[in-house]
Structure 1
Amino acid sequence: MDKHQINIISTSNEAIVKFESNHFLVKNHSYEFKNTDEAKSCPLAQQLFYLPFVKTVYIAQNFIAIERYDIVSWEDVQNEISEQIQEYLNSGKPLVKTDGEKKQVPVTVYAETTPNPNSMKFVANKKLTVNSKEFKSIDDTEPDTLSRGLYSFPFVKELYIDENYISIQKHDVTTWEEVTHEVRSFIRETLESGKDIGETKYQSTAIVKEKGESVDLPKFENLDNISKKIVEILDEYIKPAVANDGGNIVFEGYEESNGEVRVILQGACSGCPSSTMTLRNGIETMLKEMIPGKIERVVALNG
Structure 2
Amino acid sequence: MADHITTPAAPISIYAEASPNPESMKFVLNTTLLSEGVSVDYPNVEAAANSPLAQELFNFDYVGRVFIAANFVTVTKTTDLLWAQLIPELRTFLKSYVESGGPIFTVDPAAEQKAAQAAAAGDSSEADQQTSQKIIDLLDNYVRPAVEQDGGNITFRSYQDGVVTVNLQGSCSGCPSATVTLKSGIENLLKRMVPEVREVVAEGVTASF
Report the TM-score range of the alignment, normalised by the length of the smaller protein.
Answer: 0.7 to 0.9
> Does structure 1 retain, via aligned residues, the 8 Å contact 2:51–2:106?
no
Q: How does 1:253-264 map to 2 (within 5 A)?
A: 253-256=158-161, 259-264=162-167
Shift of residue 228 of structure 1? 1.6
| Per-residue deviation, residues 165-211 of structure 1 (Å, max 9, x unmatched) | 111111133221221122112111211122122347xx9xxx96x42
Alignment match of 2:174 (pick from 259, 268, 271): 271
> Does structure 1 retain, via aligned residues, the 8 Å contact 2:67–2:75?
yes
Gaps of 5+ in 2: none
Shift of residue 284 of structure 1? 1.3
> Does structure 1 retain, via aligned residues, the 8 Å contact 2:182–2:200?
no
Q: How does 1:211-230 map to 2 (within 5 A)?
A: 211-213=114-116, 217-218=120-121, 223-230=128-135
Cα distance in 1, alignment partners of residues 159 and 51 from structure 2: 41
Alignment match of 1:150 (pick from 57, 60, 63): 57
Paired position in structure 2 for 1:105: 10
TM-score calculated relative to the size of structure 1: 0.58
Cα distance in 2, alignment partners of residues 287 and 215 from structure 1: 22
Alignment match of 2:40 (pick from 127, 133, 146): 133
Cα distance in 2, alignment partners of residues 111 and 225 from structure 1: 39
Which of structures 1 and 2 has the larger relative contact order (alpha carbons within 8 angstroms, sep 6+)? 2
Shift of residue 291 of structure 1? 2.2
| Per-residue deviation, residues 66-107 of structure 1 (Å, max 9, x unmatched) | xxxxxxxxxxxxxxxxxxxxxxxxxxxxxxxxxxxxxx5110
1:161 aligns with 2:64: no
Judging by fraction of residues, say which structure has more helix: 2
RMSD: 3.1
Larger Rg: 1
> Does structure 2 retain, via aligned residues, the 8 Å contact 1:144–1:195?
no
Cα distance in 2, alignment partners of residues 234 and 214 from structure 1: 14
Shift of residue 115 of structure 1? 0.9
Cα distance in 2, alignment partners of residues 173 and 164 from structure 1: 27
| Per-residue deviation, residues 250-283 of structure 1 (Å, max 9, x unmatched) | 1122223xx2221111111111121122123201
Shift of residue 216 of structure 1? 5.0
TM-score calculated relative to the size of structure 2: 0.81
Cα distance in 1, alignment partners of residues 102 and 135 from structure 2: 38
Q: How does 1:1-303 map to 2 (within 5 A)?
A: 27-28=7-8, 105-130=10-35, 131-141=38-48, 145-199=52-106, 210-213=113-116, 217-218=120-121, 223-256=128-161, 259-292=162-195, 294-302=196-204
Shift of residue 247 of structure 1? 1.0
Which AA in structure 2 matches 1:261?
A: V
SS, match of residue 173 in structure 2:
coil
Cα distance in 2, alignment partners of residues 228 and 122 from structure 1: 31
> Does structure 2 retain, via aligned residues, the 8 Å contact 1:212–1:218?
no
Shift of residue 231 of structure 1? 1.1
Shift of residue 224 of structure 1? 2.6
Paired position in structure 2 for 1:32: none
SS, match of residue 110 in structure 1:
strand
